[in-house]
Amino acid sequence: MTTADLLAHFFGASATGITISNKIATGYAKVGDQDVCVIGTVDGTYIDNAAALQMSEQVLDCVRSKPGVPIVMLVDSEGQEPNRTAEMLGLPVYFGHLLTCLQVAREAGHKLITVATGKAIGGAFICYGMFADSIYALDSATVGLMPVEAMSAVTKIPVAILEELSKTLPALEFGAAPFALLGGVKAVWPTDETLADKLSAAIAAATPEDTRAALGKERGGRPQAYDVQQRVLAESAR
Amino acid sequence: MEAFQQSFPSHALAWPPSRKWALAGVVGSGNLEVLIEPNPAAPDTVSYSVETPIPGYRDSWLAALSDFSAHYAVGGTTITLHDQGAPPVVVKLRLRQALDLLTSAQS
Amino acid sequence: MSLTPYHELKARERIAVIADAGSFREILPPPERVMSTYLPKLGIPVSFDDGLAIGHATIGGKPVYLAAQVGQFVGGSVGEVHSAKLVGLLKSAARDKIPCVFLIESGGVRLHEGSSGEIGIAEAIRAVFSCRAAGATTLAVIGSDIGAYGGMGILSSCCDFRLMTEHGRLGISGPIVIEKWMGKQAFDSANRALVWKTSGGKTRYVLGDADLLVNDSADSVRAGIISFLSKSAKPDLAMVEARQASLEARLEKFGQISDPDEIWKTCGITDIAAASLAEAEDFAKSFHPQNS
């Protein structure tokens, strides 16, 4: 599916309000009758310092000029391209700034909703998409830390062993469905004509509380996280 | 991973524990972490629990632990070791460090 | 131990020299055995604290929550339990409205635990901002050779402040990954001077990413931490607008440069060799950071 088709599925004719420059989407559109701000990555692009600034500038524009308008974050990114200049100029700080802008938006009353539409990998996802009030993924999205082959190359654990383990450990499986079992996304959506309605409903239902750990426990994908967090809170209160 | 438990007789701790537990070392390459906990129910016995990623050295481990138990007063403790390929000299060092910390004067 | 360089200290030794004597009360200490369930399945040794010691302490008499990462254990990487401890600690700090200090030594998400560590770090980042909203100062102390990379680099960049030493590095992709991608000609990961000039404390300080640069000693790091405990940097529109402008200016001014020495020169450092050798606090006194 082309980017244009994807945007049309979510935003209909209002997708014309979205500009794509250097594979970074920014602008304003409508989901049903609701005005929304849109930021995101398309075509599996890499996120570098400049791309982060493109998105943060859009967030700031929204905070300045569009009170109460929800921010929809689309994710289709390969991650960050390893680059000496990007690192020298402080890439983590650019990511931190984007996240801080999103926090300012949240505190000003803007809801934050993410849909992973394609690749949603590691740092590219953490630096904006995973910060939302509610996070969703298309069933075709490749969501997770990294594919098994890459994991194997770095850890030196054979692919066969990782693949066998991933059958019982969804954390090691790359994809939208296992990521949902971990509580990483609220739900997985098929790419069909109901996307705009689903996004509308998601925006309406969004609350700022981070419920991912509880969800991961409930669904069984992350059995320890919630309990450990709660134990720390209980012990620190004593 | 290889795991085994073994208890040995040992003289009771020379000084009372100054804390509920002590930890020495870290789980890093060529190193290990040792957790020592008082076990007052068995004052003349030390119980070891070892986990190591390097198979085939069980006898060496048991000999080293038996030796340590004979030369140091660690009776009345449980000692758990998470090994990551530590040579015997490092194992002995960490065991001694853990024992020293458990009974040391400062809290 | 206070004479040992900070970067050579292990996590628990750092806690011992940073916290007021005897004040550290560990939460979920080793005997609780809250450990990874993934690593045993991969035949990898576990650690009692999953590579993170957390607790409550006082520093200079002020109550804080304190965390120290064990860089020797799977590279200080963040798995499910490790990240859950971070989140619990941050939520405790937000609840109690006291500072949360991180002694960071991590390559980022623990690959062996896949997406669980990734989601855990994302939760921790949200919890950092909850602290900031509640007025609980969050401080990233980056003074180890391993540095703060990947998801921990991002988390550090979300804290109110970053305190660095010359040895600390702040980045996303590590030097070996960069060399693999760009080739050894373009970036030689064995060239320590280049690696540290690219991501290390001095360059980060010059560019304004580190709020304070201190000497590599326990006393200096401790004094640096104390200086932040009664400060906070609550994010608001004015602050992020200024940051946006400064980060844009940085790209414009330095975007075509590949040699960190050029940045130092542009920032007024004339004797690069002397500056490279200078002790951190002398360096910081002489060379003023770019406007952040």
Condensed to tens digits (0 to 9), the pLDDT of residues C42-69 reads 999 999 999 999 999 999 999 999 999 9
Instruction: Judge whether B23 is closer than 8 Å to chain C, CB to CB.
Output: yes
Torsion of CA A44, A49, A55, A57, to 10 degrees: -160
Whether residues B21 and C22 touch (CB distance < 8 A) is answered with no
Burial class (CB in 10 A: 0-12, 13-18, 19+), C131: buried
Interface residue of B20, B26, B50 to substitute, partner C, most C CBs within 10 Å: B26
Neighbour count for residue B31 (Cβ, 10 Å): 21
Whether residues B26 and C31 touch (CB distance < 8 A) is answered with no
Task: Name the residue among C282, C264, C281 with its Cα closest to residue C273.
Answer: C264
Who among C113, C121, C158 is closest to A100 (CB)? C158
Condensed to tens digits (0 to 9), the pLDDT of residues B44-54 reads 999 999 999 99
Quick one: which H or E segment has residue A107?
Answer: helix A91-107
Helices (H), chain C: 11-18, 80-96, 115-134, 150-158, 175-182, 192-199, 201-207, 218-228, 237-254, 260-266, 272-277, 280-286
Interface residue of A61, A146, A229, A231 to substitute, partner C, most C CBs within 10 Å: A229
Taking a C-beta distance cutoff of 8 angstroms, is the pair A193, C6 a contact?
A: no
Whether residues C30 and B31 touch (CB distance < 8 A) is answered with no
Partners of residue B31 in chain C, C-beta under 8 Å = 72
Who among A80, A157, A165 is closest to C173 (CB)? A80
pLDDT at residue number C289: 63
DSSP A25-89: EEEEEEETTEEEEEEEE-TEEE--HHHHHHHHHHHHHHHHH-TT--EEEEEEEEE----HHHHHT
Torsion of CA C78, C80, C83, C85, to 10 degrees: -130
Residue C284 has pLDDT above 80, yes or no: yes
- With tokens 């980045």, the residue in question is C171
Chains in contact with A, counting 3 or more C-beta pairs less than 8 Å apart as contact: C
**∠C139-C142-C144 over CA atoms, to 5°?**
150
Chains in contact with B, counting 3 or more C-beta pairs less than 8 Å apart as contact: C
Residue C288 has pLDDT above 80, yes or no: no
Q: Which residues of chain A have pLDDT under 50?
A: none
- Contact call for B and A: 3+ CB–CB distances under 8 Å: no
**Distance, CA of A187 to CA of C245 (rounded, Å):** 37
ipTM of the complex: 0.98
- With tokens 């690749």, the residue in question is A119
Whether residues C31 and B27 touch (CB distance < 8 A) is answered with no
- State the number of CA atoms in the 13 A half-sphere of A178 facing the CB: 20
Instruction: Judge whether B26 is closer than 8 Å to chain C, CB to CB.
Output: yes
Task: Name the residue among A105, A181, A101 with its Cα closest to residue A143.
Answer: A181
Strand B77-84 versus strand B31-38 pairing type: antiparallel
pLDDT at residue number C292: 39
Helix axes B88-103, B58-71, angle to 10 degrees: 40
**∠B88-B91-B93 over CA atoms, to 5°?**
110
Condensed to tens digits (0 to 9), the pLDDT of residues B41-89 reads 999 999 999 999 999 999 999 999 999 999 999 999 999 999 999 999 9
Task: Name the residue among C18, C58, C54, C51 with its Cα closest to residue C36.
Answer: C51
Whether residues C247 and A93 touch (CB distance < 8 A) is answered with yes
Partners of residue B20 in chain C, C-beta under 8 Å = 31
Interface residue of C37, C83, C119 to substitute, partner A, most A CBs within 10 Å: C119
Q: No. of H helices and E strands in chain B?
A: 2, 5
DSSP symbol at C63 = E
Partners of residue A182 in chain C, C-beta under 8 Å = 115-116, 119
**Structure confidence at residue C2 as a pLDDT band (50, 70, 90):** low
The most distant pair of C-alpha atoms in chain A lies apart, rounded to whole Å, by 56
Whether residues C45 and B29 touch (CB distance < 8 A) is answered with no
Whether residues C92 and A49 touch (CB distance < 8 A) is answered with no
- Average pLDDT of the residues in B10-24: 96
Who among B20, B82, B107 is closest to C45 (CB)? B82
Strand B22-24 versus strand B31-38 pairing type: antiparallel
Neighbour count for residue C139 (Cβ, 10 Å): 26
Whether residues B53 and C43 touch (CB distance < 8 A) is answered with yes
Q: Specify which residues A142 forms β-bridges with.
A: A119
Instruction: Judge whether B35 is closer than 8 Å to chain C, CB to CB.
Output: yes
Whether residues B107 and C22 touch (CB distance < 8 A) is answered with yes
**Structure confidence at residue C291 as a pLDDT band (50, 70, 90):** very low
Interface residue of A22, A73, A103 to substitute, partner C, most C CBs within 10 Å: A103
> Which residues of B, range 41-60, sit inside 8 Å of C by Cβ?
51-53
DSSP symbol at A21 = E
DSSP symbol at A25 = E
pLDDT at residue number C286: 83
Task: Name the residue among C153, C142, C289 with its Cα closest to residue C216.
Answer: C142
**Distance, CA of C115 to CA of A170 (rounded, Å):** 8
Residue B107 has pLDDT above 60, yes or no: no
pLDDT at residue number A11: 98
Partners of residue B107 in chain C, C-beta under 8 Å = 22
Condensed to tens digits (0 to 9), the pLDDT of residues A75-130 reads 999 999 999 999 999 999 999 999 999 999 999 999 999 999 999 998 899 999 99
Please give the structure tokens belonging to residue C82: 């490790």
Tallying the residues shown for chain A, one arrives at 238
Taking a C-beta distance cutoff of 8 angstroms, is the pair A92, A127 a contact?
A: no
DSSP symbol at C78 = B
Distance from CA of C25 to the nearest CA of A (A): 9
CA B64 centroid distance within chain: 10
DSSP symbol at C108 = S
Whether residues B82 and C48 touch (CB distance < 8 A) is answered with yes
Neighbour count for residue B107 (Cβ, 10 Å): 7
Q: Return the amino acid letter for C103.
A: L
Please give the structure tokens belonging to residue B45: 């016995």
Whether residues C119 and A82 touch (CB distance < 8 A) is answered with no
pLDDT at residue number C1: 59
Looking at chain C, the whole-number percentage of residues with pLDDT higher than 90 is 93
Partners of residue A100 in chain C, C-beta under 8 Å = 129, 158, 235, 239-240, 243
**Structure confidence at residue C283 as a pLDDT band (50, 70, 90):** very high
Q: What is the per-residue burial (b if ≥16 Cβ within 10 Å, else e) of A27-54?
A: bbbbbeeeebbbbbbbebbbbbbbbbbb
pLDDT at residue number A55: 98
Strand A71-79 versus strand A44-46 pairing type: parallel
